[in-house]
A and B are shown apart, each in its own frame.
Chain A
Amino acid sequence: MIKFLIKGLLRDKSRSRLPIIVVSLGVMLTVFMHAYITGFMGDTFEMNAKFSTGHVKVMTRAYAENSSQLPNDLALIESGKLLANLRLNHPYMEWTPRIQFGGLIDAPDSTGETRSQGPAIGLGIDLLSGNTGEAERLNLTSSLVQGRLPIKKGEALLSDDFARKLNVIPGDEVTLIGSTMNGSMSMHNFTVAGTVKFGTEIMDRGSVIADIEDVRAALDMEDASGEILGFEKKGFYENKKAENMSAVFNSTSSNADDEYSPIMKSLSQQGNMGQYVQMSELWAAYISLIFIFAMSLVLWNAGLLGGLRRYGEVGIRLAIGEEKGHIFRSMIVESFFIGLAGSVLGTAIGLFFAWLVQTYGIDISGMMKGASMMMPTAIRARITTPDFYIGFIPGVISTVFGTMLSGIGIYRRQTATLFKELEA
């Protein structure tokens, strides 16, 4: 009997091939959409993490309170020791110190008089020690427009728009006018090594990027760091993990009564990123749900139609003495395998497309002009564990459910009525 049913299933294209194609398509879309949304949301976080928040960030309590003002007078002192400790205790994280600062960039002419000037947001990062991966993290090499990356002390990068405005080119000297940790004015000369364009409005307006040791020297911040950023070595931000790590750190290494003691904050605990994290989790859930729901409806209907189409077969099987329950169960089993085959196929194809978009991305930089939040300029899907099973929800469950509903028709109807329909 089983052999007989399998033969029927395989030979009847409208019973096997067509439903499998429909299920595959639905599952493929579900899987792809999920990976896509996850990727898009994740990318936005990674952008912000890389340029500003880290997956977690360590600051002094006072700095954290006023972090938008870049209060370097409240920076972490003796940050080398803290950094070493963090690296020791959390070896699966990449730790890197940074100093964010504000100031003026002054481009002098040959006589030393101001030729042009502009306000700048500065970022001191570990460029020259060569072991914190900052250049890759900030994507400096591919963001270069002119010149090259700094390779020795005293060199800096300017954002390309800013350099044009100031009318400087690589090789020119500029002066950073800022304030030291103690509040007095400081001047420090940099050679422009190159110019960069990140494709995000806020980073491209007026920034200067220099090695952190230079910045320390310029701002009189010996062994101090404004912040220490931690990044998951495996790459992606995981909210729960980051929040837990922060909680543990704060309960063991932070002192609530000392405003200079360090405090760790996860990405979600900084600025309004928390809202975004929540929002994105909700969104991903909603969109996936809506999609799963829609696909379920489609596949359920497909299952329903498939079942209805087979009333003739059902009739003859009843007539030769097969029991209703047996017919019903065999139809369910069939639809289960159809759903399973379609889901496996659809998941595979969906993952493949997701992988393509994860690897190559879709360029959306044109749509991102003027965005105030750091948004990625290319959308990349991100394949996560749920992608491997999420498609099976509409794929298997709805297909079986649809068949069940149409099968209930077999139960509801009097056998004789079924035969009437059969004769018609």
Chain B
Amino acid sequence: MESSNTIIIKGLYKRFPVGKGEFTALSDINLNFAQGEFTGLIGPSGSGKTTLLNILGSLDVPSEGEALVLGNSIGKLTTHEAANLRKVSLGFIFQSYNLLAVHTVYENVEFPLLLLKLSATERHKMVMDALEWVGLTDKIKSKPPQLSGGQCQRVAIARAMVKKPSLVLADEPTANLDAANSHHILKTMETLNRELKTTFVFATHDDKVISYLRRKVYLLDGRIDKVEVIHPNS
């Protein structure tokens, strides 16, 4: 049963040192994610969404409990293993795109592939595919400052998806976008999720995002408040 789960979280706590004491950002999180989910962590500001996403992305470690991501126990990985996990299996999408301004759209998308030691022909094909998914093949020579916010986020999605990772973590991907652009990129991600079976985990409090989610995990003060599953036929 567990093997079909991309992510298994057991009794997870995250505490941050604050002054002389500590602040508990996540308490007793128990949660699994199956392969191919399209799920969101929902909650008000400060509820711990980003903290949990960072742990799943091996950018941070639990204080207590366990987080197994694709069979890797996050707190126990060496920095080398954590980097390797991110390199091969994880894609990140940020609120503020984080594109490299002096590089072209093509180069930004190609960037993650450079670490994977693929041949130039392989890379070219993969980059063009990814740009096709997000509908930006006509912008390959543009640089991020010449693009709109929506286009930038689509480049960021292509960058996260280009290596076909098993898991994509998206932290408030629509926060800087207008409604039309938000729907556009959400549809894109939904399609990719369906076609590539990529697991998507969002952190959001945006209703537009929430309306696309098939499972909603509500966080409140670092605890799981409730979980809603939307059945496809309902």
Which A residues lie at the B interface, using CB under 8 A?
1, 4, 7-8, 11-12, 312-313, 315-316, 318-324, 414-416, 419, 422-423
Contacts and interface: CB of A to CB of B under 8 A. Distances in A.
Nearest to A320: B112
Contacts of A1: 114-115
Contact of A321 (B87, B107, B171): B87
B59 A322 contact: no
Top 6 A-B residue pairs of the complex, sorted by shortest distance between their CB atoms? A321-B87, A416-B60, A321-B86, A11-B102, A320-B112, A323-B83
B100 A316 contact: yes
Interface residues of B, number: 31
A322 B107 contact: no
A416 B115 contact: no
B84 A321 contact: yes
B85 A321 contact: yes
B102 A12 contact: yes
Given A316-B111, A319-B59, A416-B54, 11 more contacts: A4-B110, A4-B111, A7-B102, A313-B100, A318-B86, A320-B159, A321-B90, A323-B79, A415-B59, A416-B51, A423-B95
B96 interface: yes
A11 B144 CA distance: 13
Nearest to A424: B96
Interface string B72-99: 0000000110011111101010111010
A393 to B, nearest CB: 31
A4 B98 contact: no
B98 A315 contact: yes
Contacts, number: 71
Contacts of A322: 83, 87, 115
B103 interface: yes
B57 interface: yes
A9 to B, nearest CB: 9
B94 A8 contact: no
Contacts of A323: 79-80, 83
Interface in B43-73: 51, 54, 57, 59-60
A422 B100 contact: no
Contacts of A321: 83-88, 90, 112, 115
A4 B107 contact: yes
Given A323-B79, A415-B60, A422 B112 contact: no
B180 to A, nearest CB: 24
Contacts of A4: 103, 107, 110-111, 114
A319 B84 contact: no
A141 B87 CA distance: 78
Contacts of A313: 100
B173 to A, nearest CB: 13
A351 to B, nearest CB: 33
B210 to A, nearest CB: 21
A322 B85 CA distance: 10
Contact of A320 (B51, B87, B96): B87
14 contacts: A1-B114, A4-B103, A4-B107, A7-B102, A8-B100, A316-B100, A318-B59, A319-B86, A319-B98, A321-B84, A321-B86, A321-B115, A414-B60, A415-B59
Contacts of B110: 4
